[in-house]
């Protein structure tokens, strides 16, 4: 079980924003009067479900600002999943109503978005998309005992309480898995790291990568940091990697900074054999004015490839392109799609109905999600522990001719 009081979680969120977090009441928002006899208790046919009763599913993430590529992908993918589920008869015979709020990748605005959704009647939250807002919002969902499943919040404290779960790997898990992947595939003998020491996502991956490197066949020969105040000129860090003779450059950072590093490395004459990143690099091919040829051969530790040929992926990619003006879905979209269907499976395992209180729905979903095995876009047999972490095999993709392909 997770610690019941996690003051560090709120402190981490406050550190990531320039203003104090807005407060939020802790009253249970699922106050709809329960029916005398619910379908869950009576075992009645789901086809007899009340036509006016609906599950209210909320989403929070950035659809404006620098991280909008992530939030927009999640928003679209959730809508696709909800539409499919409703067309197929809903969850336990009940339709799903969905609303998404923009948090601009800001912790305070994420709490405001949560309050807006709570006033609307949200019963289940898919979100938030990015870590600092998620750390802030989990304090609120914990107080309200609302079930929260983040598709992509990777910081440890995103799931600080037992009402919160995630689809993606945590930062520490990504760092360890990256080191193990590089070692098992013999991708390098000398590794250089460039990371953002002011960012919890980047440092979380960095620290466990360095620790696990001691167990692998390669050596970390350069370990270079930058901060949010100095993320345009990477000449010093690149030169250190070059001078150390690193044949692999590990970038546990976001795609905006990575695109600058790749361009500046090319200019400086540093061309490592392999460049390796995590899910934060997803989106690098869409950076405006970026020469995408510089990303050729870049590895990303990510569980989803839009070029996979299995039926589920093909169907999802087609639906996403139709909904997003031809855009190709990224990992964040796949995580969000899986989140909604995992909730559906967990709810059906517990015969949950929307006339239950938010707290009762949360308690039932906690039981449901830890009892099911889910097969989706980001894993063939995903299970969840009571700690909120997913159990699934890590995968990597490599960029070839401007598209992601599953790495061997």
Dump pLDDT digits (tens) for 16-69.
Answer: 333 333 333 333 333 333 333 333 333 333 333 445 899 999 999 999 998 999
pLDDT at 34: 32
Confidence of residue 8 (pLDDT cuts 50, 70, 90): very low
8 A C-beta contact, residue 44 and residue 36? no
Dump pLDDT digits (tens) for 336-380.
Answer: 999 999 999 999 999 999 999 999 999 999 999 999 999 999 999
CA-based nearest residue to 149, from 85, 74, 201, 208: 74
Report which of residues 177 and 2 the model is more confident about: 177
pTM: 0.78
Q: Which domains does the chain have, with CATH numbers?
A: 7-168+313-392 (3.40.50.2300), 172-302 (3.40.50.2300)
- Strand locations in 207-355 (E): 219-226, 248-251, 274-277, 299-301
DSSP string covering 330-384:
-HHHHHHHHHHHHHHHHHHHTT--TTS-HHHHHHHHHHHHTT--B--SS-SSBEE
């Amino acid at each position: 079980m997770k610690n019941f009081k996690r003051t560090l979680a709120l402190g981490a969120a406050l550190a990531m924003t320039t203003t104090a977090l807005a407060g939020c009441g802790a009253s249970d928002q699922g106050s709809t009067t329960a029916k005398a006899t619910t379908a869950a208790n009576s075992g009645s046919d789901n086809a007899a479900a009340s036509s006016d009763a609906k599950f209210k599913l909320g989403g929070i993430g950035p659809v404006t600002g620098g991280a909008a590529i992530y939030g927009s992908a999640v928003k679209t993918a959730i809508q696709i999943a909800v539409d499919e589920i409703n067309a197929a008869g809903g969850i336990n015979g009940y339709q799903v109503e969905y609303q998404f709020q923009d948090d601009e990748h800001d912790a305070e605005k994420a709490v405001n978005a949560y309050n807006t959704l709570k006033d609307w009647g949200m019963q289940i939250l898919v979100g938030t998309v990015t870590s600092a807002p998620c750390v802030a919002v989990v304090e609120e969902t914990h107080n309200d005992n609302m079930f929260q499943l983040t598709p992509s919040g990777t910081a440890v404290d995103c799931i600080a309480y037992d009402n919160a779960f995630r689809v993606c790997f945590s930062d520490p898990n990504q760092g360890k898995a990256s080191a193990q992947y590089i070692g098992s595939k013999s991708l390098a003998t000398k590794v250089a790291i460039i990371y953002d020491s002011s960012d919890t996502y980047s440092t979380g991956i960095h620290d466990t990568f360095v620790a696990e490197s001691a167990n692998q066949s390669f050596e970390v020969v350069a370990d270079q940091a930058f901060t949010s105040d100095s993320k345009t000129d990477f000449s010093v860090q690149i030169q250190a990697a070059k001078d150390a003779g690193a044949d692999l450059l590990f970038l546990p950072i976001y795609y905006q900074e990575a695109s600058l590093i790749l361009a500046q490395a090319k200019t400086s004459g540093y061309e490592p054999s392999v460049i390796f990143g995590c899910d934060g690099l997803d989106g690098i091919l869409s950076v405006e004015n970026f020469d995408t040829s510089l990303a050729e051969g870049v590895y990303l530790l990510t569980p989803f490839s839009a070029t996979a040929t299995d039926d589920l992926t093909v169907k999802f990619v087609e639906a996403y392109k139709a909904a997003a003006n031809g855009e190709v879905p990224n990992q964040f979209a796949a995580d969000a799609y899986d989140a909604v269907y995992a909730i559906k499976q967990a709810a059906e395992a517990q015969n949950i109905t929307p006339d239950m209180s938010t707290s009762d729905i949360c308690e039932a979903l906690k039981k449901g999600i830890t009892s099911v095995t889910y097969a989706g876009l980001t894993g063939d047999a995903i299970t969840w522990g009571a700690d909120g972490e997913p159990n699934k095999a890590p995968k990597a993709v490599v960029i070839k001719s401007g598209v992601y392909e599953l790495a061997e």
